[in-house]
């Protein structure tokens, strides 16, 4: 059974092909006669770069004990689902329950964000975010969250949260019944900037030995076992590319299935498409200067984006809007994306829709595990030796 090879209780989504169990250098292949562990990471998005950072931190007192090479088809911060993510960091499920290992995940995320911030201080956009309740059930769930997890969540009534989130008092916003302020590690990051910061931190930790190799779509030679042979361990963290770009089948990685060797070509996951809109608007509404826009979430999200030199000069505000539930297999047309997101977010930010223009439509595909006892968990698993 293939699924036996996956331990669904661990947080990071990566598959490891571990070629050497012992710490001693492997001398069977002349290219592996070295005194350090040589690790390849395929895919440098949120999963791959945090793996690199954790590994380098673990060996930083033993400089030279580890070499890390990241293979990615995109430059740092520009590939995969990570490059288009909303950047909302919090540990709660849609119903306000703490996700499995949520406290550990928050501690680990905060640690990585702090490291990235030393390199790219502008990667944190807001130190808090707001989760709105739009139905009585949501209000009741989120009040429970505030009672159970006061370290992260504070309940705010409708008037308070509307004021902070700049939601106008109109008949259509009367369905905002209150919500949570999420803070103390819950925050909003600009993911591409964060990934650049984390990569720079990897460079420092490794004394400049970490390498980023940008691969070409048309050349898949680097995926051959010959090319990967010098590595002691290959971490596969290419997100949807594992399946969409057939990385698994190209690696031809055998798994032991009840004594029989099979080739792993698929994973027990779904691919989920998500789209968002980058919008630009004048920073003052109705002629008066308004307070900073906060990030909010409720089945859809609205988050601030970093200012560019041009938007600063023009006094403009940049905003990202998206919906957290997209299950379409085929890509939407641009008109469909705008219509869909407008329908879902208009009531929350009519001022944005009435005055802003859509600057860019972004889309990405993320990998989602199947729902289990603890909800949907990221996956980790170990697969056999490469051929």
Q: Which residues bind ligand FAD (CB under 6 A)?
A: 13, 43-48, 71-74, 79-82, 84-88, 215, 237-241, 245, 247, 274, 276, 322, 364, 366
The first and second tokens of residue 228, run together, are 């990967």
Closest CB 212 distance from ligand FAD, rounded Å: 10
**Are the CB atoms for 305 and 319 separated by under 8 Å?**
yes
Q: Which is nearer to ligand FAD, 255 or 361 (CB)?
A: 361
The first and second tokens of residue 51, run together, are 């793996």
Closest CB 352 distance from ligand FAD, rounded Å: 18
Distant-in-sequence, close-in-space partners of 209: CB < 8 Å, separation ≥ 6? 64, 67, 68
**Are the CB atoms for 187 and 129 separated by under 8 Å?**
yes
Closest CB 219 distance from ligand FAD, rounded Å: 10
Q: Which is nearer to ligand FAD, 20 or 225 (CB)?
A: 225
Gap between the Cα atoms of 318 and 304, Å rounded: 6
Closest CB 260 distance from ligand FAD, rounded Å: 28
In this structure, the number of other CB atoms found within 10 A of the CB of residue 68 comes to 26
What is the SS3 assignment for 373?
coil
- 276 forms beta bridges with 322, 362
Q: Which is nearer to ligand FAD, 85 or 161 (CB)?
A: 85
Gap between the Cα atoms of 244 and 67, Å rounded: 28
Give the count of alpha carbons within 13 A of 184, CB side only.
Answer: 10
**Are the CB atoms for 235 and 49 separated by under 8 Å?**
no
**Are the CB atoms for 278 and 320 separated by under 8 Å?**
yes
Closest CB 286 distance from ligand FAD, rounded Å: 30
Closest CB 366 distance from ligand FAD, rounded Å: 4
What is the SS3 assignment for 309?
helix
Closest CB 127 distance from ligand FAD, rounded Å: 16
Q: Which is nearer to ligand FAD, 44 or 230 (CB)?
A: 44
Closest CB 325 distance from ligand FAD, rounded Å: 11
Gap between the Cα atoms of 291 and 156, Å rounded: 18
Q: Which is nearer to ligand FAD, 158 or 267 (CB)?
A: 267
The first and second tokens of residue 324, run together, are 């957290």
**Are the CB atoms for 127 and 187 separated by under 8 Å?**
yes
Closest CB 280 distance from ligand FAD, rounded Å: 18
Hunting for tokens 């407008």 — which residue is that? 342
Q: Which is nearer to ligand FAD, 48 or 178 (CB)?
A: 48
Residue nearest to ligand FAD according to CB distances in the complex: 241
* Triad 189, 238, 117: Cα angle to 5°: 25
Closest CB 189 distance from ligand FAD, rounded Å: 9
Q: Which is nearer to ligand FAD, 51 or 138 (CB)?
A: 51
Q: Which is nearer to ligand FAD, 79 or 381 (CB)?
A: 79
Q: Which is nearer to ligand FAD, 156 or 189 (CB)?
A: 189
Give me the helices (H) in the chain, please. 46-58, 102-119, 136-148, 158-164, 191-205, 225-228, 241-244, 247-251, 309-314, 334-345, 350-355
Beta strands in 33-105 (DSSP E): 37-42, 66-72, 88-89
**Are the CB atoms for 149 and 191 separated by under 8 Å?**
no
Q: Which is nearer to ligand FAD, 20 or 369 (CB)?
A: 369
């Amino acid at each position: 059974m293939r699924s036996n090879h996956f331990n669904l209780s661990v947080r990071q989504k990566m598959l490891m092909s571990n070629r050497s169990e012992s710490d001693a250098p492997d001398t069977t292949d002349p290219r592996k006669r070295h005194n350090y562990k040589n690790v390849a990471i395929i895919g440098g998005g949120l999963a791959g770069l945090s793996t690199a950072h954790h590994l380098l931190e673990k060996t930083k007192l033993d400089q030279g004990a580890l070499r890390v090479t990241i293979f990615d088809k995109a430059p740092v911060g520009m590939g995969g689902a990570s490059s288009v993510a909303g950047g909302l960091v919090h540990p709660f499920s849609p119903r306000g329950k703490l996700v499995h290992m949520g406290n550990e995940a928050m501690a680990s995320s905060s640690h990585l964000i702090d490291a990235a911030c030393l390199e790219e201080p502008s990667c944190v956009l807001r130190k808090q975010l707001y989760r709105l309740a739009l139905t009585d059930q949501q209000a009741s769930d989120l009040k429970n969250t505030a009672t159970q997890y006061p370290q992260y969540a504070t309940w705010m009534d409708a008037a308070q949260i509307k004021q902070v989130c700049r939601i106008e008092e109109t008949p259509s916003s009367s369905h905002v019944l209150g919500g949570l302020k999420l803070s103390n590690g819950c925050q909003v990051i600009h993911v591409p900037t964060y990934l650049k910061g984390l990569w720079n931190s990897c460079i420092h930790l490794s004394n400049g030995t970490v390498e980023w190799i940008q691969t070409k779509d048309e050349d898949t030679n680097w995926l051959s076992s010959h090319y990967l042979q010098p590595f002691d361990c290959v971490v596969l963290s290419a997100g949807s590319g594992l399946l969409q770009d057939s990385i698994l089948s190209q690696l031809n990685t055998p798994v032991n299935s009840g004594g029989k060797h099979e080739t792993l070509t698929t994973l027990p996951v779904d691919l989920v498409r998500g789209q968002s809109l980058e919008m630009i608007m004048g920073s003052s509404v109705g002629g008066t200067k308004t307070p900073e826009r906060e990030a909010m979430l409720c089945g859809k999200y609205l988050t601030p984006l970093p200012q560019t030199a041009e938007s600063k000069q023009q006094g403009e505000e940049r905003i990202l809007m998206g919906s957290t539930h997209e299950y379409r297999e085929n890509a939407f047309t641009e008109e469909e994306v705008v219509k869909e997101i407008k329908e879902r977010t208009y009531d929350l930010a009519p001022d944005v829709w009435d005055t802003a223009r859509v600057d860019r439509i972004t889309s990405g595909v993320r990998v989602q595990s199947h729902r289990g006892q603890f909800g949907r968990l990221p996956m980790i698993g170990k697969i056999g030796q490469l051929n």
